[in-house]
Structure formats: C-alpha cells, structure tokens
Amino acid sequence: MAVTLPAELMWKATAQDLRKDLDLSNEEVCSLMELTEQVKAHPSRFARSLAGRYLSLLFEKPSLRTRLTFELAIKQLGGDAVVSTGPVAEREPLKDVARNLDRWTQGIVARVFQQETIDEMARWSSVPVINALSDLYHPCQALADVFTIREQFGETRGLKVTFVGDGNNVANSLMLTATRLGMDFTLGCPAGYEPRPEIVSDAMALAAVAGTHIEIVHDAAKAVAGAHAVYTDVWASMGQEREADQRRQNFLPFQVNEALMAKARPDAVFMHCLPAKRGQEVTDGVMESGQSVVFDQAENRLHAQKALLLMMLS
C-alpha cells in the first residue's frame, strides 16, 4: 500500500503524459524542482510512496543513464519495472502494444527514434507515457539539467545558458525548459544545424512571457560570452552515423575546449548529457576540470525522475 505524502509534497501533474516538455506547465516545472530537492535530500521519506506501482520501460536505443535511473527511481520509491529492448512495434501495431502494457503496468517510459512513436503510444495508452528521449525532445534530461543549474547557482532567474553544437533534441528541451525558469538561452551552432522553426517559435513565446531572451548565433565565442553554463552534446547522434565525418568538419569550430570556456564567466559550469566523445565536441581537460558538473547532472537524472514519477503516478 502506498504511503500518503506530506501535504506540502502533494503535487500532481495535470497532464496525462510527458510527450514533450510543454506537457508540464510552468507551475509544474517549478513544483518539480522543489520536489526533486526534497527527494534528493530525504530519500527515506519517499521509499514506499509508489509501492505496488510498476513501469514498462521500452528502449529502442541503447541506454546507460536513462535506463538505470528510471529502474532505480521506481524501485527506490517502492515499485518495480519491466524492460523491453528493440523496436517497439516490430511484431504488432503500436496501438496494440500500448493497450497491452496499460493492462499490466501503471506507466510507460519509452526511449525511441521517432517522436511519432511517443505520440501514438500516448494516444492509445490509458496510463501515463513518459518520453525518455525521441528525435525531437529529451524532457527528462532537461529537468535534471535545470535542477543541476539551480543547485550550482542557488537560483535560475537571470542566468545565461549556452548550448554549443547541434540544435538537437537536448538543445530543444533545454531551451523550452530553461527559458520558463527565468534563464536566457543561447544556441551556438553551424549554419544549417538550427532547431526546427516551430520549436524555436514555441520557445520564443515562452520567453516573451517569462521575460527571458533566446538567441541563435553561428559563432561559438559569441555564444558563450557571459554564460553561466556552457553545454554541449555529441555532434552525431544515434541514427546519424552516415553524417559523422561531415559533421566533424562542420562542428570543429564549436568544440568546447579550455580556450572557449575561458570566454564564459569565471564561475561558469560545463555541462554534457553524456556519453561524451572526448576530443571531439569537448576536450578531456574541460571534462575533468573543476568547472565540469557532468556527473552531477547524471546523478540528478535519478532524483528528477523520482519527482516526475511521484507527480505522474501518485
């Protein structure tokens, strides 16, 4: 039997699913930050909060942090998980998969190649579907990232976050989430590697309400100037292997090295969602420097996902 949480921790997400970052309201993102802090500081208070609840974990892509932290999160909250790897709908229609899983478990976490898989799964599932990565969004990563920034600086409003590299799923989610918490966001990328215009438009609308600023530039030094956090990711994601050689040439001026980090604020932190290709998008010196918080980010995946599960499954 699940325990009753203290009244001040009784936050329930209004959205059925987390298909993309905007499924959580601004208020819910703020509440999740507070709940993540409580979960991290007092894990024993939540050890039986989701007893009797089970997750289906679906992984079309290999995973270390996402898979292990979701498995640990549900187990440390008193529940459990079952895992399936490989294509989600290879043997039967996706709508049939969804309606099987929702009979057996209380939530579905999926790491997939296409956003359409997440959307279709959510359409047919009667239990929450959580996007653990798609080609367009990585909301769970962004929640852990903004929590890490909050930990490092004690606040989020007034900070500048710079993402250097591809306008990919991680950049999309970070842009959509950081701006809502009062952070300015700059993307430094080669021409032709900007995020989808409709996602930038969504982020711009959020920024206008929050009083924050979004900028996309094609100069790495300009992008990181004055940044509190400098973030990067691999230049070629899974599924882009054929483009890897061309991408290495195009992205070389955007490598996060010691010289580039020196153009950010003296107290700036370096961030990476991992795994990192050291010597490509980031140097080993930056990864191992005192400015690097990449393993804090990795740890906080566990705590932020615990908070998310509490909000969506409790």
Residues belonging to the active site:
111, 138, 141, 233, 273, 301
The pair of structure tokens assigned to 23 is 């499924």
Whole-angstrom distance, CA of residue 27 vs CA of residue 196:
26
Task: Provide the β-strand partners of residue 83.
Answer: 57
Q: Which of 34, 8, 11 is nearest to 304 (CA)?
A: 34
- Furthest CA-CA distance within the chain: 56
- Please answer whether residues 174 and 145 qualify as being in contact, where contact means their C-beta atoms are separated by less than 8 angstroms: yes
- Please answer whether residues 47 and 78 qualify as being in contact, where contact means their C-beta atoms are separated by less than 8 angstroms: yes
- Please answer whether residues 227 and 265 qualify as being in contact, where contact means their C-beta atoms are separated by less than 8 angstroms: yes
Please report how the helices 197-210 and 169-178 are oriented relative to each other, as an axis angle in degrees rounded to 10. Answer: 20
What does the buried/exposed string (b/e) look like for 299-312 if buried means 16 or more CB atoms within 10 Å of the residue's CB? Answer: bbbbbbbbbbbbbb
